[in-house]
Amino acid sequence: MMERLHRYDEELLLLEHTAAVLQWDQETFMPERAVEERSRQLSLLSEMMHRRITDPEIAAILHDLGADDAHPSGDPQLDPADRALVRRWWRQVSRMRKLPASWVKEFSELTSQAQVVWAQSRRNRDFSRFQTVLERIITMVRKKSELYGYEAHPYDPLLDEYEPDLTTERVESLFTPLKQDLVELLRRLEDTPAVEDRFLYQEYPADLQKHINTMVLEHMGFDWRRGRLDESAHPFTTALGADDVRITTRYHEPSGVSALFSAVHEGGHALYEQGARSGPLRGTSLGSGVSLALHESQSRLWEQMVGRSREFWIFWFPQFQQLFERQLQGVGLEQFLLAVNRVRPSCIRVDADEVTYSLHIMLRFELEKALVSGGLHAADLPHAWNEQMQSLVGSVPSHDGEGVLQDVHWSAGMFGYFPTYALGNLYAAQLYEQMNREIPDMRGQIVQGSYGEIHRWLKEQVHQWGGMYSSEELIHRVTGKPLDPGCFTGYLRRKYGVLYGV
């Protein structure tokens, strides 16, 4: 029976990779007028995958392997990896059988078209055109929640889709104290002298940015034989196969370091995928990141905790100076370090500093809950967005392009995704703390531009296990304790206390 399940698993993985090729092309090089047929292509693949997952033969195989609602991992005598695969399939089958194939097809086609509308609306800084398609998406998302079923809140099954077993109540219990700590730290930093960072907001030639991005990714351990770096409107990472992991960034942002940090961020995601797909779970659906929050922990760890550290820039700043001599004339390491770590209320999530970033996520979490429950209508979203942005972050967007239209997620129907970003910060800090204990002279290695031990540790402790364990199980295995938000706030206080002298 396990052999038959493995065959189904391999076939589904190939279909997912095929769809990923089309989606990657759509986000990077596809001609604008190709969107209509591309939507139908992706819709057909989604329908095929749905039929595979809901095939009665799969349900019969899982039943013969001992899986049911009370025993989702099946027969206790199975190999641990096989039990994990049974559990993954039981979860997929149980959820997908609740969604009619017609709904899946319609939703796929709608969101494929919506992403093009979103991109155009973002460029034109006009929410009104996107509003109509967003209303249709929200209606279908509410229907999905009803089809999945819930007890406490209609947002629960949407969260569970990206972070298994996560509930609205649990997120609120984590976000409430986190919000208090972040706001307190932000208020303390507001009284410090302004940081001079205008030198970052000049023209930094894209070809030179690409050059240093490539160098940093190579030092991180990104395998160019199994991946590539391209451009897109919204940076992302995708896996088109076991040996084909692709990342994107964008080079036309105001800050001269935005593209670099974006590449490092996506590089963290890519290292996780390359590691999981080259480990013992290679070739199975378990050979990928276990959850969105743990996936985000890998990108945030590299981007923020390594990439914005003093040790990182001791090595890279001289090379940055050589590439951008005119832009950095008269700028020293200390000034540069403060500039790339400047805490300043910003309207753009992907450019937000470490202190305010999670506040951006809380804003989206609150808006999504209201949209799904019916307490907020799409037409009122821009006003609600701006109001909460002012309340939480202390900044108001000047137009919809840097406000409600800045993220691609809603156009893709990805409600329930955003909280995983802030949870990723929590996982990252706890892993970074443990890694610092276990790797001798880790900071000294970063100063030398040597990240081999960091990459090795992450691959052994996190990457190779893919979807074998849940996020909570894995963090406990690695650090010896459950997820502790105090690791993140403690890290922030120490770092910014030194930087700002508070």
Catalytic residues: 266
3-class secondary structure, 6: helix
* Residue owning tokens 């996780």: 272
Do 107 and 140 touch, CB atoms closer than 8 A? yes
Q: Which two tokens stand for residue 238?
A: 């995708």
Burial class, 430, CB count within 10 angstroms (exposed 0-12 / middle 13-18 / buried 19+): buried
Distance CA 122, CA 233 (A): 10
Distance CA 293, CA 474 (A): 12
Buried b / exposed e along 333-348 (16+ C-beta atoms within 10 A): eeebbbbbbbbbbbbb
Do 453 and 445 touch, CB atoms closer than 8 A? yes
Rg (CA), the chain: 22
Task: Identify the helix (H) or strand (E) that includes residue 248.
Answer: strand 244-249
Distance CA 186, CA 492 (A): 11
Do 422 and 358 touch, CB atoms closer than 8 A? yes
Distance CA 428, CA 307 (A): 13
* Residue owning tokens 């509308």: 117
Angle formed at CA 222 by CA 318 and CA 433, multiple of 5 degrees: 75
Helix axes 419-438, 486-500, angle to 10 degrees: 80
Distance CA 279, CA 287 (A): 7
Q: Length of the chain, please?
A: 502
Do 372 and 138 touch, CB atoms closer than 8 A? yes
3-class secondary structure, 196: coil
Distance CA 65, CA 2 (A): 8
Report the DSSP beta bridge partners of residue 237: 247
Residue 291 region, left (φ>0) first, then alpha (ψ -120 to 50), else beta?
Answer: beta
